[in-house]
Amino acid sequence: MNAIRGLWRSAPLVRNVILNKSTLTRPFATATITPIKPIEDVPSAIELDKLYKRVELEMRGIDPAVLLSYSWFCIAAASHLGIEVTKSWALRKAEKERHTLLRCVHIYKKHRVQYEIRTYFRFIHLQRLTGSTCDTFLEYIERNLPEGCALKVTKVECQKIPDHITPPQE
């Protein structure tokens, strides 16, 4: 990249030719407008794929059977795409959100009625995905998420320590 940039700096002639060419081809009608300086195209650095050390899927839903089928589907898709599945489990009991109300609206405080909302959970842990694999897989399983289910994906990306985290030079 530096070599290209060096060439760019050291060859004004070439650059002039390129720049002039763009101004010459400009149609006459726009010639009165001050010519826009063409942006020097900086060759973008090669974008490296991200590395995900671990991806944790948390599914929650109102029906344990649907969640089970969905986790089967996720694991099958992961195995077809060559993703390692480390763990897959479910909570033994559902999380219950309870509301206790008076059975009668205004009176009889002794007599209550209880309503509850049950939420079932399932977890799948995957490990060692590249960014493109992760995106593909997640897009696929999120599109096939059944009704009444929610999915939380926690991604642990591993990165190099940035270059500026070095002891200062005195």
Partner 1 sequence: MYLIFCHKSVILNKLIKMSLFIRNYKPGVAYNAQILWRFNSTTAETVKQGEDEEEFRVLDILHKKGKLQKRVNRRADIQPDRSEKMPTDQNWGNVWPGPRSFHPSSVPLPIRQGYVPKGQAPPGKKANAELMKIPNFLHLTPPVVKSQCEALKKFCTSWPKLLNSEEAIEKNYPMEIISSDYCHASPTIRNPLARIVTLRVKLSNLKLDSRARDKFLRLVGDKYDEKTDLVTLTADRCPVRKQNMDYVNYLLTACYHESWTVEDWETDKCLEDMEYYDFDLNPSKKNLVNWYLMSNNEDNNLNDEQVKNFDVSKIPNGVEYKSAVSELFNEGESDLALNKYDTSVRKLLGLPEKKIAN
Residues making contact with partner 1 (CB under 8 A): 49, 51, 53, 63, 65-66, 69-70, 73, 76-77, 80-82, 128-130, 132-133, 135-138, 140, 142, 144-148, 150-162, 164-168
Going from the C-alpha of 4 to that of each of 9, 17, 44, the distances in angstroms are 9, 17, 12
Between CA 159 and CA 162 the distance in angstroms is: 8
DSSP state letter for 33: S
Minimum CB–partner distance for residue 56 and partner 1 (Å): 9
Of 107 and 161, CB closest to partner 1: 161
Between CA 73 and CA 80 the distance in angstroms is: 11
Minimum CB–partner distance for residue 81 and partner 1 (Å): 5
Of 19 and 63, CB closest to partner 1: 63
Of 2 and 166, CB closest to partner 1: 166
What do you get for the CA distance between the two ends of the chain, in Å?
30
Of 19 and 145, CB closest to partner 1: 145
Between CA 122 and CA 151 the distance in angstroms is: 10
Minimum CB–partner distance for residue 50 and partner 1 (Å): 9
Nearest to residue 26, comparing CAs of 39, 12, 34, 16?
34
Minimum CB–partner distance for residue 46 and partner 1 (Å): 14
Minimum CB–partner distance for residue 123 and partner 1 (Å): 13
Of 90 and 131, CB closest to partner 1: 131
Q: Where are the alpha helices (DSSP H) in 11-147?
A: 12-24, 64-80, 131-143
